[in-house]
Structure 1
Amino acid sequence: MERSGWLKCLADDYQRLRSAATTDLTAQVPSCPDWTAADLVRHVGEVYLHKAAAIRQGERPDPWPPAGLESEEPIALLDRAYGELTDQIAQRGDDEPTWTWHEPDQTVRFWIRRMAQETVIHRIDAELAIGAPVAPIPDDLAVDGIDEVLKLFVAYGSHTWREEFEPDLASAKGRTVAVKLDGGPAWLVRTDPDGVTVTGPSPTTPSSDATVSGDPVAVLRWLWARESAPTADAQSPVRVDGDEEALAEVRRLLATATQ
């Protein structure tokens, strides 16, 4: 995906998140058990403001958060923050330098992508909170999100913030999990004591100890643990096969990376 696609998804999912959350701000968020919909909205608003400040200043905002955010009404905070974020993005090109947490990519483009992906995951949270059907997600956004969570959150994160992943990697033995999209590419996730390596996307499915497969949206939701509550007569849209230890290890790493 590129700028126009990410920004279109960001705008659509901001509106969906806002609409779902305003239905019942007291609703519990099952994918974030400690949060109500109001907490979810406040979190997204604060994330938007943080990224807007990073883009505006060209450096990591410090100190953070600014005083007074806690007294602002959640929906008003979300609206103000979205406006500030998109205003900062509109003033700058993709390659303009700024601070990000991903050392290889210190550009505004990183935050455009990250905020589109942040928002689609949290609007799913809002929909799950009120028991509404999860609105469609474009396949290209889902494929991009799969690549991001595997390569940036899990692989890059496990090497950059090694201490946070230490408990998950202590028993790693070089096991591999292939993440395969129906009719599409595959990624290979390998866990070693010194960190996670992710290769792909590849047009062919690599040999692995276990496989996670499905359509792009289903796999994205599985990786982020944003699946709908199961019903007695519904099968999971994601197929999981192979070494159970390898699969459990990747699940733990994903939980650490996305907490």
Structure 2
Amino acid sequence: MTGRALADYGRLLEVLDVEGDLLASSAGGADPALAVPNAPGMTLGGTVRHVGSVYRMVVAWVRAGGHQPTRWQRAPEDGQTLEDYLRTGHRALVEQLAEHDPEEACSTWWPLHQAYGFWYRRMAHESTIHRIDVQQAAAGMTVGAISEDVALDGVDEILSLWFTHRLGVLGVANSWRGQVAVVAGGQQWIASMSAGGTSAWRAGEDEIEGVDASVTSDPTGMFLWLWGRRPIRAVTPAGDRAGIAQLWHLLRLATH
């Protein structure tokens, strides 16, 4: 699988802009101690601090011109609210990325995609999944929708970046060997697991006929399921349930 996004990069920068602002608005005035559903150990406040820190880390990374940073503001300053901490980091990131074409070379943590577009995409999905977290944690708040094109690109990103690359970096061994098709919104992917590691790729309908198992959902449902924000039984399964469970558990290792 290549590093190219399914969605247009200009669209992804817009998503980052909108989702980061919505995340901050959703967190404003909410109890930071509230637990995030379907994300054990996460709280609303911890989520906001995490995202605000990641925003600043990325700004420091791209400004360093290729060197992964070791120092940046990781928490609000004295007297600074969580919402303001998030907003100032978000605005700095959007402005920094908007100054560069997505095809312009830029250091990242994925060898397949060394360009600013990587950060457009990664931060768009980081903001989207954690906006969902904050809205689900805040009592009585309506959880906003995810556009189908964004959700499908998010499915593609988690399978390529996290399932394929991140698990490879971690050197995770597999207890089940085979292939699971991931089907959503007219798109198909194959997630392969073997003793040698994990990999995933976009597939045609004819390619998924011989797989060991499959999971099917609408695009938003699949995006949330792959990120662990929906229960393991929240997709339509077929075939070897052990393979589906292995896919699920490997993704929990990759994304935590």
Compute the TM-score of the two structures, normalised by the length of structure 1.
Answer: 0.87
When structure 1 is superposed on structure 2, of 24-33 and 205-214 the one drifting more is 24-33
> After superposition, what is the alpha-carbon deviation per residue over 1:85-144, rounded to whole angstroms, capped at 9, x for unaligned?
011112211122222110121111100010001110000101110143321111111111
Report what 1:5 is aligned to: 11
Compute the TM-score of the two structures, normalised by the length of structure 2.
Answer: 0.88
Matches of 2:205 and 2:64, distance apart in 1: 41
Matches of 2:75 and 2:250, distance apart in 1: 35
Report what 1:147 is aligned to: 156
The reply to whether residue 214 of structure 1 matches residue 217 of structure 2 is yes
Cα gap change, 1:41/1:67 in structure 2, threshold over 3 Å: closer, same or farther? closer
Give the secondary-structure state (helix, strand or coil) at the position aligned to 1:28: coil
Matches of 1:46 and 1:201, distance apart in 2: 36
When structure 1 is superposed on structure 2, of 14-23 and 120-129 the one drifting more is 14-23
CA contact (8 A) 1:16 1:123 kept: yes
Which residue of the other structure, out of 117, 142, 152, is the alignment partner of 1:133?
A: 142
Within a 5 Å distance, the mapping from 1:35-54 to structure 2 comes to 35-54=42-61
Give the secondary-structure state (helix, strand or coil) at the position aligned to 1:24: coil
The reply to whether residue 57 of structure 1 matches residue 60 of structure 2 is no
Within a 5 Å distance, the mapping from 1:135-214 to structure 2 comes to 135-162=144-171, 165-166=172-173, 169=174, 171-172=175-176, 174-182=177-185, 184-204=186-206, 205-214=208-217
Give the secondary-structure state (helix, strand or coil) at the position aligned to 2:28: helix
Aligned pairs, how many? Answer: 246
Matches of 2:69 and 2:16, distance apart in 1: 26
Report what 1:82 is aligned to: 90
Cα gap change, 1:62/1:185 in structure 2, threshold over 3 Å: closer, same or farther? closer
Give the secondary-structure state (helix, strand or coil) at the position aligned to 1:141: helix
- Segments of structure 2 that go 5 or more residues without pairing to the other structure are 1-6
The reply to whether residue 110 of structure 1 matches residue 118 of structure 2 is yes
CA contact (8 A) 2:39 2:228 kept: no
- Percent of residue pairs bearing the same amino acid type: 30
* RMSD of aligned Cα (Å): 2.1
Report what 1:24 is aligned to: 30
Report what 2:4 is aligned to: none
TM-superposed deviation, 1:38: 1.5
- Segments of structure 1 that go 5 or more residues without pairing to the other structure are none
Say which structure, 1 or 2, has more relative contact order (CA 8 Å, 6+ apart): 2
